[in-house]
Structure 1
Amino acid sequence: MPDDFIQIGTITGAHGIRGSVKVYSYAESPERFAVHGKVVLIDEAGGMRQDVITWAQAHKRIVRLTLEGVRTRGEAESLKGWGVFIARSELPALEPDTYYWKDLIGLAVVTTTGEHLGRVTQIIPTGANDIYVVETPPGHPSGEILIPAISSVVLDIDIEKGFMRVELPEGLI
């Protein structure tokens, strides 16, 4: 996936008979699915198409959309599983020390003593704070480490250099 796109959802199925789709939203705000907004749809094989939102209705994490190029239920059903992306340039500027998940996935994780713990492979949202799932290298005693995304544990993130520096609490590994 090119770095100039951010995934904001996944199409989970059709809605109604006129070609609307249901999207599971990853966006913090339903405004990412604004009418007249441009989206890029990408399937698992890398097939890509651009479209324009003509109607949107959000309900919790599900957003129902009508897309300009989708007219029938069959066309909508054929998009199940496709990712919904927007151009990175469409996103608001980030506040200091905040990051898009896409930028954190793949970062190397190192301790304050220089030990390489692995790479961030997934982020789990929780009510209090996110959890970074770190896949450890072969031969490490644990297959993965769950690191809380809190300032006392995650000391530094450098997107450009590709690493996250952490100080793990006792007993985390």
Structure 2
Amino acid sequence: MGKVYGILGWINFFSFTETKEKIFSYLPWFILKNKTWETIQLKNWKQHNNHFIIQINNIVDRSLASKWTNTEIFIDKSQLPKLKKNEYYWNDIIKCKVFNIQNKYLGIVTDLISHEYNDTLLIKNDFTKNNKKIMIPFIAEKIVKSIDITNKIIKVQWN
């Protein structure tokens, strides 16, 4: 959740689901607050420019809403649609080990970045001298040769 919107307790909200509005069908939401999982009861939501604004139950003014800013929400993975063979969710790719086709270890996926033309794997290798992150375009078959979610291994055409 982003910063507060207005004086009535609305909060800016950014969805990272493929279809942005789909996040509102994955209720309830959860947050980790003070090392305890809490459920969020959504009162209302609206589209606003390229994101959404939301109202949480019992949050009626700006000062109450400010306590919820810069918070990540979580959903129960069992709510997500079942995937077909060779499909995966982004969070399944995080922490996969990446090797090039010559079997050289490149690092571990720390994030995926969505761009207009293609997604990008962000890879970190703790064994290199300068701990540089590598960005590899996520282009299936051409660059990303295989993904083994079970063993958490990705093979890429990359030097």
Alpha-carbon distance in 2 for matches of 1:60, 1:133: 28
The count of aligned residue pairs is 157
The 8 Å contact of residues 98 and 105 in structure 2, kept in 1 or not, is answered as yes
The 8 Å contact of residues 22 and 63 in structure 1, kept in 2 or not, is answered as yes
What does residue 160 of structure 1 align with? 150
Instruction: Tell me the TM-score normalized by structure 1.
Output: 0.79
Structure 1 or 2: larger strand share?
1
Deviation at 1:21, TM superposition (A): 1.4
The 8 Å contact of residues 15 and 23 in structure 2, kept in 1 or not, is answered as no
User: Could you say what secondary structure the match of 1:70 adopts?
Assistant: coil
What does residue 134 of structure 1 align with? 123
The 8 Å contact of residues 117 and 137 in structure 1, kept in 2 or not, is answered as no
Give runs of ≥4 in structure 1 deviating > 6 Å. none
State the one-letter code of the partner of 1:83.
E
Deviation at 1:104, TM superposition (A): 1.1
Task: Name structure 2 gaps, 5 residues minimum.
Answer: none
User: Could you say what secondary structure the match of 1:155 adopts?
Assistant: strand
Distance 1:40 1:69, change over 3 A: farther
Alpha-carbon distance in 1 for matches of 2:45, 2:36: 24
Deviation at 1:107, TM superposition (A): 0.7
2:22 aligned with 1:31: yes
User: Could you say what secondary structure the match of 1:99 adopts?
Assistant: coil
Alpha-carbon distance in 2 for matches of 1:162, 1:108: 6
1:15-54 aligned at under 5 Å gives the runs 15-29=5-19, 30-34=21-25, 37-43=27-33, 46-54=35-43
Task: Name structure 1 gaps, 5 residues minimum.
Answer: 1-10
1:55-134 aligned at under 5 Å gives the runs 55-134=44-123
* Mean Cα deviation higher: 88-97 or 116-125: 88-97
State the one-letter code of the partner of 1:157.
I
Alpha-carbon distance in 1 for matches of 2:41, 2:93: 28
CA RMSD of aligned residues (A): 2.2
2:150 aligned with 1:143: no
Distance 1:77 1:116, change over 3 A: same
User: Could you say what secondary structure the match of 1:25 adopts?
Assistant: coil
CA deviation vs aligned residue, 1:1-20 (integer Å, no higher than 9, x gap): xxxxxxxxxx1122233322
Alpha-carbon distance in 2 for matches of 1:101, 1:60: 25
The 8 Å contact of residues 51 and 69 in structure 1, kept in 2 or not, is answered as no
Alpha-carbon distance in 2 for matches of 1:141, 1:70: 46
What does residue 3 of structure 1 align with? none
Instruction: Tell me the TM-score normalized by structure 2.
Output: 0.85
Identity of aligned residues (%): 24
